[in-house]
Amino acid sequence: MNGPHSSNPVEIRHGSGTTAVIHTGYGFNCTSFTVATPDGPVDLIWSVPDFGPDRPPMLSGIPVLFPFGGRLVGNTFRWQGTEYTITDGIIEGGSAIHGLVLNRPWRVLEEIGDRVVGEFQASIDDPALLSQWPADFRITMAYEVTATALTCDIVIDNPDQLPLPYGFATHGYYRTPLGQGDGEACELTVPASSRWVLDDNAIPTGEIRPVEPELDLRKSSPINGRQFNTVYTDLATDADGSVNCLVRDPAAGRSIRINMDGGFREVVVWNPPHREAIAIEPYTCVVTAFDVEERGYESGLRVLAPGKSDALRLTIELVTDDRTSSSVTQRRTAGIGLGPRLTHAR
């Protein structure tokens, strides 16, 4: 275990000068992705400058939300007739929120130049979690940086003899603006035709509605003072099945493209109070999935059989307005995974 004031930040660096910083000792949170450009470095990720264990883990960088995202109704949930109580997660307003791995140390499996790989397994890294979830779980993440893109490959394994229910999400804070302009003039694109209806506690009711004009982000639309806390669904995909969201700064002529591969089906958009960033959060299932299932609605909750794995990929890329090609397409041809040394048996 790391000491109480150690987040063990690791910097990975591409030969172009582009860098990323991942806090391996505090949730494997990426708090900086800085692209080297002819005009100087451009940092895409918002974080408090002194991020670490004394800071809330879900309000900076790219927090990793697993094995559930969003908040539970209280700190308990039911699955297959058994009730589970979260006692060692983050409790906010009486509700467990954003999973079990975002504030814990991860083991580093590889650290070399432009790449770092980390892993967390409940039975190895915090056995107290085993009584709080239906099965043991293992999550492995590999961050790799190129000249303009940061790719995150995620593999989720079930090492148990019992079925593993889970949801995965990230809670990335993307800077607005990307230069000296007005953050409220930055434009968002999320290719979603519907949204989940939320109650007063931001819990999905089970109802899905077409997006209203004021929340429709299918065409690039400025933030312009709007307050988002919206769970988008019915996402349009590209020909390869991936989903692309954009945060564009028209004054800078640059965009952040967030490419989601592997079956993400919801995107949450949220403005933090400081409004220096916008949170774009890809989810594999709706927030509060267990409660949605209990109410009789389909939530997208994933269940891994013993010994099975799922693979996901996120790519964050800085693109310019005059750019017509993308390294995302080139990288995607290699498929999703952690490489031959680190991919777990499926």
pLDDT for 201: 85
CA atoms within 13 A on the CB side of 96: 24
The pair of three-digit structure tokens given for residue 264, joined into one six-digit string = 């993400």
Q: Using pLDDT thresholds of 50, 70 and 90, give the confidence band for residue 186.
A: very high
> Which carries the bigger pLDDT value, residue 335 or residue 290?
290
Tell me the pLDDT band of 211, cut-offs 50, 70 and 90. Answer: very high
Q: Among residues of the chain, what percentage have pLDDT more than 70? A: 92
pLDDT for position 79: 95
Q: Give the Cα separation of 162 and 82 in Å (integer).
A: 13
Which residue carries 């989601």 as its tokens? Answer: 260
- Tell me the average pLDDT across 273-280: 97
Residue 337 is predicted with a pLDDT of: 58
List pLDDT tens digits, range 38-53: 999 999 999 999 999 9
Cα(249)–Cα(320) distance, integer angstroms: 10
**Nearest of 195, 179, 325, 151 to residue 248 by alpha carbon:** 179
137: DSSP letter? -
Whole-angstrom distance, CA of residue 121 vs CA of residue 295 = 30
- CA–CA separation, 209 and 195 (whole Å): 6
Provide mean pLDDT across the span 277-306: 96
How large is the average pLDDT for residues 179-196? 97
CATH T-level assignment (fold) for domain 9-332: Beta-galactosidase; Chain A, domain 5 (2.70.98)
Per residue in 80-132, pLDDT tens?
999 999 998 888 888 889 899 999 999 999 999 999 999 999 999 999 999 99
Tens of pLDDT, residue by residue over 319-345, are 999 763 444 444 444 454 565 434 333
**Section 271-288 average pLDDT:** 97
pLDDT at 338: 62
Average pLDDT on 154-160 reads: 98
Return the percentage of the chain with pLDDT > 90, whole number.
Answer: 83
Predicted local confidence at residue 262, as pLDDT: 76
pLDDT at position 300, please?
96
Q: What is the pLDDT of residue 340?
A: 40
State the average pLDDT for the chain: 91
The pLDDT of 260-278, averaged and rounded, is: 95
- pLDDT digit string (tens) for 10-37? 999 999 999 999 999 999 999 999 999 9
173 and 47 Cβ atoms separated by less than 8 Å: yes
